[in-house]
Amino acid sequence: MSEFNPQLFIWARQAAGLTIEEAATALHIQPRSLVEIEAGGVDPSRPQLLRMAQAYRRSLLTFYLPAPPTKGDRGQDFRTVVTERAQSAEVAIDALVRDVRARQAVVRSTLEEDDDFEPPLFIGSLDMGAGVPALKEAITRVIGFDIAEFRRQPTNEAAFNLLRAKAESAGVFVMLIGNLGSHHSAIPVAAFRGIVLADPIAPLVVINDQDARAAWSFTLLHELAHLWLGQSGISDGPSEQRIEQFCNEVAAEMLVPRAEIASVSLDGLEEDERVDVIQRLARNWKVSRPMIAYRFLKAGRITERAWRALDDKFREMFTAERQREKAASKSKKNAPSYYVVKRHKVGHAMLSFAARSLSAGTLSPTKAAQVLGVSPRSVFTLLGPNA
């Protein structure tokens, strides 16, 4: 029996706006061969599937779904519309969301068949009417967040890893994805910072790893707030939407309580001096510089004009730092291997899920590869001794 639903091939081609003839040309096959594939008479080969994924702008995993996905898979768009956001980035985001949704669908269907699986109970458990303090307390209690422990970590990335581990222990899959498979397809932070799927079985958060590492923890907590509210969607930075402001406040209160901001004065300082103070606080508190500057604005400790000047300064600094990091990485002889980087991006929760499911025989190596975003021959190397 074929493992493909031929309706998926028809749906993907038509959604891409291609005729049989146009699609066949892109797939390097005869039109009659494509007709036979879409009729279910023959399965496409692996190279043909890869060409379909490219021509139809779909994840390879899409073609293994039981049925075409329904419309509205993006969830809510929590972002404030920015005129300079490139249309190409929006196309890339659509492709990324499809890929993430397809991965999550496989995870969900596998977990549903597991009699021992206990789903998380907090998805959609509160609403904004409960208030910021209530949601902050709920997240803190469920994931066991300790701000002192968080700040004791040696680096921003170590602090994020700690927070991520706590979220994953609570049942949330957390992935770092900022492109469509290569650095050539990187999606800018201006287009999105986070994606959240508030699924009651397999809740999933994606963080754009093109962003500063110091910002990852804030984004993760922001998306956790969306999970508690039971809302899926795409987020960026400061937004005019009330729900985004609410989730931002929850995340900010967990990382930098308003009372701490009130204890620091920037009065009478020149801009360079304010930059120095905020940089010191960011290092100590393991958060980003723009986030602290924004907290000062929201607390009424600086004017909007002063905040904009600081925000522009910190973004210039981040751009320069990122360029230096890229230059340094090219000259490093002991850079981490592909598999080390990939494990970090996929996350422990997804790696453990794949290893357990493979061992139990509930997930094939092919589907494990699709969930993990690697080729089938790389699955067991990626999973290592846990496979």
Q: Give the pLDDT mean for 76-104.
A: 70
User: 10 Å Cβ neighbour count for 364?
Assistant: 15
Cα-based distances in Å from 334 to 152, 184, 329, 337: 27, 23, 9, 9
Q: Give the pLDDT mean for 288-310.
A: 94
Nearest-angstrom CA–CA distance, 196 and 77: 11
- The helix/strand/coil state of 312 is helix
What whole-number percentage of the chain has pLDDT above 90?
A: 68
Domain boundaries along the sequence of the chain: 1-68, 72-255, 259-335, 342-387
- What band does 332 get if pLDDT is binned at 50, 70 and 90? low
pTM of the model: 0.81
Per the structure block, which two tokens stand in for 356?
């357990």
Run of H or E residues at 175? strand 173-176
- What band does 326 get if pLDDT is binned at 50, 70 and 90? confident
Residue 252's nearest CA partner among 153, 159, 147 is 147
- What band does 239 get if pLDDT is binned at 50, 70 and 90? low
Inter-residue contact 214 to 318 (CB < 8 Å): no
Cα-based distances in Å from 265 to 75, 136, 300: 41, 26, 11
Q: Which residues of 98-117 are buried (b: 16+ CB within 10 A; e: fewer)?
A: bbbbbbbbbbbbbbeeeeee
pLDDT at 87 over 60: no
Residue 27 CA, chain-centre distance (Å), reads 31
pLDDT per residue as tens digits for the range 188-230 = 888 899 999 999 999 999 999 999 999 999 999 999 999 999 9
pLDDT of residue 379: 95
- What band does 384 get if pLDDT is binned at 50, 70 and 90? confident
Inter-residue contact 205 to 173 (CB < 8 Å): yes
pLDDT of residue 254: 98
Residue 378, amino acid? S
DSSP assignments along 191-242, one per residue: T-SEEEE--SSS-EEEE-TTS-HHHHHHHHHHHHHHHHHT--EEE-SS-SSH
The mean of the pLDDT values for the chain is: 89
pLDDT of residue 83: 41
pLDDT of residue 72: 44
Q: Give the pLDDT mean for 310-325.
A: 91
pLDDT of residue 75: 59
User: 10 Å Cβ neighbour count for 3?
Assistant: 11
pLDDT of residue 86: 46
| More reliable by pLDDT, 71 or 214 | 214
pLDDT at 283 over 70: yes
CA dihedral of residues 280, 284, 286, 287 (deg, nearest 10)? -40
pLDDT per residue as tens digits for the range 338-375 = 899 999 999 999 999 999 999 999 999 999 998 999 98
pLDDT of residue 286: 97
> Does the domain made of 1-68 have the CATH classification 1.10.20.140?
no
pLDDT at 92 over 60: yes
Q: What is the 3-state secondary structure (H, E, C) of 231-268?
A: CCEEECCCCCCHHHHHHHHHHHHHHCCHHHHHCCCCCC
pLDDT of residue 207: 97
Q: Give the pLDDT mean for 30-47.
A: 93
| More reliable by pLDDT, 165 or 89 | 165
pLDDT at 21 over 90: yes
Nearest-angstrom CA–CA distance, 194 and 185: 17
DSSP 8-state assignment for residue 374:
S
pLDDT at 126 over 70: yes
